Amino acid sequence: MNTRFLDACRGLPVDRTPVWLMRQAGRYLPQYMKVREKCTFLQLCKTPELAAEVTIQPIDILGVDAAILFSDILTPVEPMGLKLDFVPGPVFENPVRSMADVAALRIPEMEEDVPYVLETIRILRRELAGRVPLIGFGGAPFTLACYMVEGKGSKDFAAIKKMMYCAPEVYAALMDKIADMLIAYLKAQITAGAQAIQVFDTWGGIPSPSDYEKYVLPYTTRVIAALGTEVPVIHFVKGAGTMLRSVRKAGGDVLGLDWHVNLGAARDELGPGIAVQGNLDPTVLFGTKPLIEAEVKRVLDENAGRPGHIFNLGHGILPTVPPENAIHMVECVHRLSQQS
């Protein structure tokens, strides 16, 4: 039974630093592409046996210390009433723009509307049999709202910000509804067997620090508080470096850091009582083996042996990374952090 990851989430001492990679199941693995040839990404998410298979691939191939459910942050948004497609980035045909659009959104019944997510979790707990813990996940309210309002990825996030500034009551109603959905969705994942939850706020660093406090933090805080203390919660906010103290107020056991902060300096600022996850620049995995080793060592040195560090990339692994480099990274983390 490998409990390294869960122990580190709780700030307990471990024999070596646990490591996993955001987006560890995916297109950089030929084994994933082989499964993916047979179906679309959404079909893969909705077929529990296949979703479980690709979840386990990186456990076997990379030797990581945690599995993360194969799905997407937008999976539970589709049954709210928005037609979803991946081309390959996510696209919603009917984005949310008005109070009437918000009113039309429904809160899904999880066992009925996303049974495949919960079934995948149940299969994984059986198949993993304690080998490594299983992480469930969801998007943070703000990141989900970005996709729901913009209708797709964005460079300037003009539509969501226009709503924030010009129609604050519509924005608040939308964020409240998303938060309600997330609470039910993440609780259902925990009931089905998820042993930790990661909340992904990929776009949480887009608003200014004062707008973060006003428009983002209250909703994420409500979601994390509702999850209780049964399983550890990891809160990953890309671009959190200049507002670590605000982001910490959202709660959770672990703060996920991107590579724009020095991990040691971030820990000094955060103080004790919270673990951190991260934060290698994902493009380091294009480097030579010695470079990867030196960068892993640098991040471990920044942490300086403090308990409560989970090694990860600062964002998802890129689809063109050679798998052998990811394998090497995991091996370096384990070897260099081994306690004698």
Which residues are designated catalytic?
Answer: 23, 27, 36, 72, 147
Q: Which one, 68 or 257, has the nearer CB to ligand CP3?
A: 68
C-alpha 329, offset from chain centre = 20
- The binding site for ligand CP3 (CB under 6 A) comprises 22-27, 36, 41, 68, 70, 72-74, 86, 88-90, 137, 153, 200, 202, 316
Contact present, 52 and 46 (Cβ < 8 Å): no
Closest contact distance (angstroms) between CB of 202 and ligand CP3 is: 3
Rounded Cα–Cα distance for residues 175 and 190 (Å): 22
Closest contact distance (angstroms) between CB of 70 and ligand CP3 is: 5
Contact present, 5 and 132 (Cβ < 8 Å): yes
Closest contact distance (angstroms) between CB of 256 and ligand CP3 is: 10
Contact present, 137 and 70 (Cβ < 8 Å): no
Q: Which one, 7 or 201, has the nearer CB to ligand CP3?
A: 201
Rounded Cα–Cα distance for residues 275 and 271 (Å): 9
List, in sequence order, every residue forming a beta bridge with 85; answer none if it has no partner: 91
Which position's Cβ is nearest ligand CP3? 202
Q: Which one, 3 or 154, has the nearer CB to ligand CP3?
A: 154
Among candidate residues 2, 139, 7, the one with its CA nearest the CA of residue 66: 2
Contact present, 196 and 6 (Cβ < 8 Å): yes
Closest contact distance (angstroms) between CB of 121 and ligand CP3 is: 13
Closest contact distance (angstroms) between CB of 112 and ligand CP3 is: 23
Which one-letter DSSP state was computed for residue 67? Answer: E
Contact present, 234 and 176 (Cβ < 8 Å): no
Q: Which one, 134 or 333, has the nearer CB to ligand CP3?
A: 134
Closest contact distance (angstroms) between CB of 235 and ligand CP3 is: 13
* Encoded tokens for 283: 């493009």
* 40 phi and psi angles, rounded to 5 deg: -80, 170
List, in sequence order, every residue forming a beta bridge with 137; answer none if it has no partner: 198
List, in sequence order, every residue forming a beta bridge with 276; answer none if it has no partner: 255, 309
Q: Which one, 308 or 314, has the nearer CB to ligand CP3?
A: 314
Q: Which one, 86 or 165, has the nearer CB to ligand CP3?
A: 86
